[in-house]
Amino acid sequence: MATKIDYYSVLEVSRDANGDEIKRAYRRLAMKYHPDRNQGDAEAEGKFKEINEAYDVLKDDNKRAAYDRFGHAAFEGGGPGAGAGGFDFGGGGLGDIFEQMFGDMMGGKRGGRRSGADLQVQVTITFAEAFAGVKKKITVPSRVTCESCDGTGSADKDQPPETCPSCHGAGKVRAQQGFFFVERPCPTCHGTGRLIRNPCKECHGAGTVEKNRTIEVAIPAGVEDGTRIRMSGEGEAGGKGVPAGDLYVHVSVEAHPIFQRDGSNIYCRVPVRMAQAALGTEIEVPVVDGSRSKVKIPAGTQTGEHFRLRGKGFSVLRSSARGDMYIQVVVETPRHLTKRQRELLEEFEGDASGHAKGSPESTGFFSKVKDFFEGKL
């Protein structure tokens, strides 16, 4: 039989180390030699087994006392510290290591569930409501605290729920399989950590009942499509003294037939007749807050040119700043001309065809085209 290494040496602690020092040493070494971090390393796997075996003994005051007195013989052949691996209801161990290494990746929480379930609802608002902010009343189907038992789950208010004797309130138990511990919800209390001797007849001991609630949610000015608003404690009631979960409101903003949004800025495409763009004009445009604003269009304005109205955009969340509104001009070419209109345009085209300054973009473009065909470009 192979000689076993001293458990204190395995954990690299002195014999007078206290429980916290032993636990810290175990966590450090277990993370260092964990199989997931040393895949295919047989030596690390063996070291990991030794670390867990040593910690299983030294973390328990009775086992540690037996080991200090009899050494490894205390756990062999029916010695005073011998005992088959079974359910472990204490703290520490592999559960702590996995929580440190992987966090709450699967949504688990130490000591049972700490809150009721979170809820999600969708709310659709108009473009104008997103601009100004709005309060919306929403109906949320959820579980709420039972009024008959005040959420305790017990019909007798003088007899509150008892701590579960099986898991000592942890809500979970650990079964040892080889050198691993498998964690499961406590079968006695179903993961709640508490027992109720006389369940409430209204909620049957759950501490909550199903009910539709009407909640008012304040949607701030400047909210964007897809924003998620968290309302703490407005989710499902936890029951039996457990706090309620959270409510997440997903905001959807309807499209507007006139305005488009880009962050905190608003864009509005405004058609302008060809003659207006050529001669210059002043137009009146709507603003999303319901007001109107005048915009001067200078002579010779081209399609795509922008004119800015400062501070007429959306509010910026968590800031006093505001965006701007941009008027984008679209020069409209007339259709269905009268005979007289066609004659005037033909006359205008004849006068303008030789006038490069009147149409600098087209003149410059076709000049480059000519150079291209002549091999100059």
First to last CA, the chain: 90
Residues 323 and 342 in one domain: no
Binding residues: 146, 149, 164, 167, 186, 189, 200, 203
Q: At 105, list the tokens.
A: 């990746």
Gap between the Cα atoms of 116 and 103, Å rounded: 20
Those residues whose C-beta lies under 8 Å from the C-beta of residue 368, and which sit 6 or more positions away, are 377
Please answer whether residues 186 and 171 qualify as being in contact, where contact means their C-beta atoms are separated by less than 8 angstroms: yes
* Spatial contact of 152 and 241, defined as CB atoms under 8 Å apart: yes
Does a structural domain hold residue 174? Answer: no
Angle at the Cα of 309 from the Cα atoms of 307 and 315, rounded to 5 degrees: 135
Residue 104 lies in a domain: no
**350 and 313 both lie in a single domain:** no
Give the tokens for residue 149.
């038992």
Asked if residues 302 and 242 have their Cβ atoms less than 8 Å apart, the reply is: no
Read off the tokens for 143.
Answer: 């579980």
> Quick check: is 188 in a domain?
no
User: Does the residue 179 lie in any domain?
Assistant: no
User: Using CA atoms, how far apart are residues 280 and 300, in angstroms rounded to an integer?
Assistant: 7
Q: Is residue 268 within 8 Å of 327, Cβ to Cβ?
A: yes
Question: The domain that contains 3 carries what CATH number?
Answer: 1.10.287.110
* Tally of domains in the chain: 4
Question: How many residues belong to the chain?
Answer: 377
Q: d(Cα 358, Cα 377) in Å, to the nearest integer? A: 25
**Is residue 268 domain-shared with residue 326, that is, in the same domain?**
yes
pLDDT in tens, 286-296: 999 889 999 99
- In whole angstroms, give the CA distance from residue 340 to residue 47: 99
124 shares its domain with 241: yes
How many Cβ atoms are within 10 Å of 164's Cβ, its own excluded? 22
**In this structure, is residue 357 part of a structural domain?**
yes
The residue from 70, 99, 131 where one domain ends is: 70
Residues 6+ apart with CB under 8 A from 34: 48, 97, 101
Q: What are the tokens at 184?
A: 């499961």
Q: Which residues line the annotated binding site for Zn(2+)? A: 146, 149, 164, 167, 186, 189, 200, 203
* pLDDT in 10s for each residue of the chain, 377 residues: 456 788 999 999 998 889 889 999 998 998 888 887 888 888 888 898 899 999 999 998 888 888 888 787 777 654 555 543 333 333 444 444 444 444 443 334 444 445 778 888 999 999 999 999 999 998 888 777 887 887 778 888 677 778 888 887 888 887 766 556 677 888 888 777 778 878 888 887 777 787 888 889 999 999 999 999 999 888 877 655 668 788 899 999 999 999 999 999 999 999 999 999 999 999 999 999 889 999 999 999 999 999 999 999 999 988 888 999 999 999 999 888 999 999 998 888 777 665 555 666 766 777 787 778 778 76
Residues 125 and 219 in one domain: yes
51: exposed, middle or buried (Cβ count in 10 Å: 0-12, 13-18, 19+): buried
pTM of this structure = 0.53
In angstroms, the CA 166 to CA 87 distance is: 10
CA distance 301 to 281: 10
Rounded Cα gap, residues 283 and 309, in angstroms: 13
Domain that holds residue 128: 117-160+195-251
The answer on 270 and 247 residing in a single domain is no
